[in-house]
Amino acid sequence: MSNQIKKYPIIEVNNLKTWFPIKRGVLSRTVGYIRAVDIAGLYINRGETLGLVGESGCGKTTFGRTLSGLEKPRTGEMFFYGKNILDLSRRELRELRKKMQIIFQDPLSSLNPRMNVLDIVTEGLAEFGKIEGTREDHAKRLMNEVGLDNDAIYRYPHEFSGGQRQRINIARAIALRPDFIICDEPVSALDVSVQAQVINLLMDLRDTYNLSYLFISHDLSVVSAISNRVAVMYLGRIVESGLTGDVINNSKHPYTKALINAVPEPGHYQKERIVLKGEMPSPSAPPSGCMFHTRCPEVMEICRKQEPKETMSGIHQVWCHLY
């Protein structure tokens, strides 16, 4: 895809806050909130992959779960093809499930061990009355699409390797011919040698079916391999976003630079050495001003007091007082 400027957004998010109440005492009073996600704006075009990257615990998985309806936001809007998901009726939400799917990190625990592959990958088709011919026909076609043998459909999840199990998860996700798939750390649990194969499969399927992905990962090198654009998340907020090449080769935010620095091949992306100090603060008590100021090697006085505003250069956005 050559143009990633907002054009045909399949997903659009505005002022989305997924906060979890902290309850205390016998009366279970709300004494605060864990501010897991706080996104001012984000979009994903049709056929585009947006990579969402950040350390573990930064809120990226909660954002994926919010988009897919597994978590309820406190406020905000989430549009799918221009319709606010939060306004949909139960029937409309059920229809949405056909068009939006999710692939989870752990390929084993996301598959029912008592079901064979045939039942797993055709369950959604049967539920929505989409079986034409036999379930076997559908299951075999799906096996072909994800690079598994036809006789895999008669076996159970424990009989496969991690990479094969993730292929089964992908087969289940594409069975209903969705337009949008949330890939939540889909290769993190796999051997490095298998990761590239699964990413190549996801890219092939994206090109064949014009799929859009939200690709969530803590690993910037994995995200950059598949994404058209990248958004970097810290403590629930986007701190930098742009075309993958711009964010990797011309990163602005000190946090992005630190993430790039953590990529195993030093100097592959850039030579500047920045090391992150300390732990990420708790999302229940985020720092004042810039949320990154407690760890930032370039912190200034203003950073402790004032939240940085968005600075834009083309579609490259950054939230930092340095710019």
Does the protein bind ligand SF4 through residue 293 (CB under 6 A)?
A: yes
Pairing outcome for strands 310-313 and 83-84: unpaired
**Whole-number minimum distance, CB 319 to ligand SF4, in Å?**
7
311 binds ligand SF4 (CB under 6 A): no
Stretch of 26-34, 131-139, 225-233, 288-296 lying at the interface with ligand SF4 (CB under 6 A): 288-296
Task: Give me the least distance between CB of 62 and ligand SF4, in Å please.
Answer: 22
- Please identify which residue in 1, 201, 299, 315 interacts with ligand SF4, judged by CB under 6 A: 299
Q: Is 292 one of the binding residues for ligand SF4 (CB under 6 A)?
A: yes
Tokens 């034409």 — which residue? 132
| CA-closest candidate to residue 76, choices 25, 33, 107, 39 | 39
Q: Which residues contact 27 (CB under 8 A, 6 or more apart)?
A: none
Tokens of 132: 């034409």
- Give yes or no for residue 298 binding ligand SF4 (CB under 6 A): yes
Decide: residue 277, CB within 10 A, 0-12 exposed, 13-18 middle, 19+ buried: exposed
* Distance (Å, whole) CA 219 – CA 144: 29
5 binds ligand SF4 per the rule CB under 6 A: no
Tokens 């919010």 sit at which residue? Answer: 66
Taking the CA of residue 322 as centre, how many other CA atoms within 13 Å lie in the half-sphere pointing to its CB? 16
Binding span for ligand SF4 by CB under 6 A among 19-27, 55-63, 107-115, 293-301: 293-301
Count of other CB atoms within 10 angstroms of residue 116: 16
Neighbours of 91 (CB within 10 A): 8
Instruction: Give the one residue of 300, 301, 305, 312 binding ligand SF4; rule: CB under 6 A.
Output: 300
Among positions 224-263, residues that touch ligand SF4 (CB under 6 A) are 253-254
Distances (CA, A) of 314 to 96, 220, 242, 311, 320: 33, 22, 9, 10, 16
For residue 21, report the phi and psi dihedrals to the nearest 5 degrees: -70, 145
Does residue 280 belong to the site contacting ligand SF4 (CB under 6 A)? no
Pick from 64, 73, 157, 308 the residue near ligand SF4 by CB under 6 A: 308
Task: Report how many residues bind ligand SF4 under the rule CB under 6 A.
Answer: 14
Residue from 244, 303, 310, 314 in contact with ligand SF4 (CB under 6 A): 303
Nearer to ligand SF4, 182 or 239 (CB): 239
The window from 30-38, 103-111, 147-155, 286-294 that contacts ligand SF4 (CB under 6 A) reads 286-294
Range in contact with ligand SF4 (rule: CB under 6 A) among 28-36, 196-204, 223-231, 297-305:
297-305
Is residue 70 near ligand SF4 by the rule CB under 6 A? no
Extract the tokens encoding 127: 């539920």
Please name which of 99, 119, 171, 118 lies closest in space to residue 142, comparing C-alpha atoms: 171
Please give the DSSP secondary-structure letter assigned to residue 286. P
Give residues in contact with ligand SF4 (CB under 6 A): 253-254, 290, 292-293, 296, 298-300, 303, 308, 320-322
